[in-house]
Amino acid sequence: MDTNVQKRRENKKSLRVKVISLGNAEVGKSCIIKRYCEKRFVPKYLATIGIDYGVTKVQVRDREIKVNIFDMAGHPFFYEVRNEFYKDSQGVILVYDVGLRESFDALDSWLTEMKQEMGSQANMENIIFVVCANKVDLTKRRVVDESEGRLWAESRGFHYFETSAQSGEGINEMFQAFFSSITDMCENGGKRPTPEVSVGFTKEQADTIRRIRSSKDSWDMLGVKPGATREEVNKAYRKLAVLLHPDKCVAPGSEDAFKAVVNARTSLLKNINEESFRTPT
């Protein structure tokens, strides 16, 4: 075959992509990358200073992908260094530590920082995000459960993986899904293809589960004022039951949310009954 034709074909099959890692300091970003690229784990914490850069080659279907990895420092001190590196990313690895709630809560502010730094380029539709719920090997200290993390990720159209850089759990699966989605996106002209299977739940369902999880008492959970009547409680319950019934809702955490709503209604109605017995007629 003409060598030029052969070269052109090879070029067509090879891709260059840029990915970045984001998340609070010490959540395990560098260790996840090291586990994948070097197949090893370093227990000692060596904070990334500003940025670490590395290149790896991976094969996705018939394409060779050259991946430029920019591993960001999570510490706020390095903001001035890392803010240069957000632009032109095709993929983002968002990491939190399942044993540190603040690292999970911080995911929103990492997205905000990214959007801000990308400026007019900030089209999140053209970036593949993968969320790593990391350090799952440390089961006893876990405070953010799978359904909560999965809900956060999947309601935004992001991949979700439970990972441990220490044991290697989930790491290869996560990178394979990540690179495969990035390749699909590049083959689709740089736009995230519409997923073949939709997430299967609505934003309203996701928001309701989150609200139920953070409610302070049974009144709050059902969304009624303290002292509401039986009818008001039942009406609010029915609305939530239709939204969250396990036959209707596949959002992560919906089953627990549904059970919590049933329990809240039972305890409120019990109190309303007892009070009405006590009230002289």
Q: Which is nearer to Mg ion, 39 or 238 (CB)?
A: 39
CA pair distance 253, 150, nearest whole angstrom: 9
> Helix, strand, coil shares of the chain as percentages rounded to 5?
50, 15, 35
Q: Which is nearer to ligand GTP, 134 or 254 (CB)?
A: 134
CA pair distance 235, 225, nearest whole angstrom: 13
Q: Is 63 helix (H, G, I), strand (E, B) or coil?
A: strand
CB of 97 to ligand GTP, least distance (A): 8
CA pair distance 123, 92, nearest whole angstrom: 13
Distances in Å between the Cα of 223 and the Cα atoms of 15, 212, 227, 262 are 51, 9, 12, 13
Pairing of strands 159-162, 128-134: parallel
Q: Which is nearer to ligand GTP, 155 or 164 (CB)?
A: 164
User: Of ligand GTP, Mg ion, none, which one sits near residue 106, judging by CB under 5 to 8 A according to partner kind?
Assistant: none
Query: Can residue 133 be called a binding residue for ligand GTP (CB under 6 A)?
Result: no
Please give the residues from 134 up to 193 whose contact with ligand GTP meets the rule CB under 6 A: 134-135, 137-138, 164-166
Q: Which two tokens stand for residue 253?
A: 């955490």
Q: Which is nearer to ligand GTP, 172 or 188 (CB)?
A: 172
Q: Which is nearer to ligand GTP, 28 or 252 (CB)?
A: 28
Measured in degrees and rounded to the nearest 5, phi and psi for residue 240 equal -70, -35
Query: Can residue 90 be called a binding residue for ligand GTP (CB under 6 A)?
Result: no
Name residue 22's beta-bridge partners.
94
CB of 82 to Mg ion, least distance (A): 11
Residue window 16-45: x/- pattern of binding to ligand GTP, with contact defined by CB under 6 A: -------x-xxxxxxx----------xxxx
Query: Can residue 232 be called a binding residue for ligand GTP (CB under 6 A)?
Result: no
Residue holding tokens 């799952």? 136
Query: Can residue 21 be called a binding residue for Mg ion (CB under 5 A)?
Result: no
Nearest to 129 by CA among 147, 114, 142, 117: 114
CB of 102 to ligand GTP, least distance (A): 14
Which residues bind to ligand GTP, rule: CB under 6 A?
23, 25-31, 42-48, 73-75, 134-135, 137-138, 164-166
List residues binding Mg ion (CB under 5 A).
Answer: 29-30, 48
